[in-house]
Amino acid sequence: MTIQQVSEILNAEVLTTADKLDTVVDSACGADLMSDVLAFSAGHALLLTGLINLQAIRTAEMMDMRAVVFVRGKKPTQDIIDLANDRDVILMTTKHNLYAACGLLYINGLH
Amino acid sequence: MKLSYTVLEGEYARAGEASSAVKKVLKQLGVPAPVIRKIAIAMYEAEINMVIHANGGVVDVDILPDKVFIQLTDTGPGIPDIEMAKREGFSTASDEARDLGFGAGMGIPNMIRNSDFFNIKSEVGKGTTVEIAVNL
Ligand SMILES: Nc1ncnc2c1ncn2[C@@H]1O[C@H](COP(=O)(O)OP(=O)(O)O)[C@@H](O)[C@H]1O
Ligand SMILES: [Mg+2]
């Protein structure tokens, strides 16, 4: 699934520079605890989280993830968007909550 | 190659910058991505701990032909019971640390899991030194 398709399924708004949306992601993880992500998500390319701060972007960076989806319609501040742009992490925000967002991607084939 | 970073006290937003800088250098040196990831995870957890449990500190990184050695030294409150601190789930983290997405007592276990050598020395009232080595 491409990141473009992820954004369409989640009806998400892309917040970073809108290039590389054709990047393919083949697995995802949903978590608010960054230590959980650091422990269990090696190899996943997409992080869905309700944690809206710089550490969410840094965690994605450490894990070589391609994109982060902020859930529940939360909008990050500009410094968070800037860091994501700088680290080549695509950032988007969806109105769905974490449970629903993960479920929508799952039933559409992202496991 | 030797690198050194200062981790600032109370700078919750900037915690992780040193780990990010080291990751960039290792990438430039052509270290394989899975190895970089191990180093990044272990160092990031240790760097976060310096900010949320101590008052910042110094990180020294030595990149050798066969391994990367990282030493993180702080002069914070120290750890009274290291065996306890190593246990998954043990945490004395503040609400502020939890708001960051950390403080679930998984940091030290994550460091151990991702390193080929791990050592933590601590003295209450004096500070803590964490040593991490990952083979290249
Ligand atoms: N640099 C440090 N200075 C003082 N105490 C520390 C330090 N690092 C870890 N600790 C202690 O060890 C515990 C476990 O650390 P960790 O496994 O990273 O979990 P967490 O950071 O989620 O609490 C911490 O809650 C804290 O009590
Ligand atoms: Mg920790």
DSSP H helices in chain B: 17-28, 33-52, 82-86, 95-99, 107-114
| Residue B65 banded pLDDT, cuts 50, 70, 90 | very high
Domain count, chain B: 1
**Going by C-beta distance under 8 Å and a sequence separation of 6 or more, which residues neighbour residue A110?**
A1, A6, A25, A26, A27, A28, A46
| Residue A111 banded pLDDT, cuts 50, 70, 90 | confident
Among chain B residues, CA nearest to A63: B37
Q: Which two tokens stand for residue A61?
A: 């960076």
- Pocket test of ligand 1: the residue of B73, B75, B82, B91 to mutate, having most ligand atoms within 8 Å of its CB, is B91
**A contacts of B52 (beta carbons < 8 Å):** none
pTM of the full structure: 0.96
User: For A6-33, what is each residue's pLDDT tens digit?
Assistant: 999 999 999 999 788 999 999 999 999 9
Q: Which of A62, A63, A78 to mutate to test the interface with B (most CBs of B within 10 A)?
A: A62
Give the H or E element holding residue A101: helix A98-107
Residue B20 half-sphere exposure toward CB, CA atoms < 13 A: 18
ipTM of model over 0.90: yes
A50 near B CB under 8 A: no
A35 near B CB under 8 A: yes
Is residue B47 within 6 Å of ligand 1 at its C-beta?
no
Report d(CA B61, CA A56) in Å as an integer.
24
Please name each of the domains of chain A with its CATH number. Answer: 3-107 (3.40.1390.20)
Ligand nearest to the CA of B104: 1
CA-based nearest distance A54→chain B, Å: 6
Report d(CA A53, CA A35) in Å as an integer.
14
The pLDDT value given to residue A42: 80
**A contacts of B48 (beta carbons < 8 Å):** 55
The pLDDT value given to residue A19: 83
Out of A33, A42, A62, closest to residue B19 by CB: A62
Q: Which domain holds residue B127?
A: 2-135
> What CATH number is attached to the domain comprising B60?
3.30.565.10
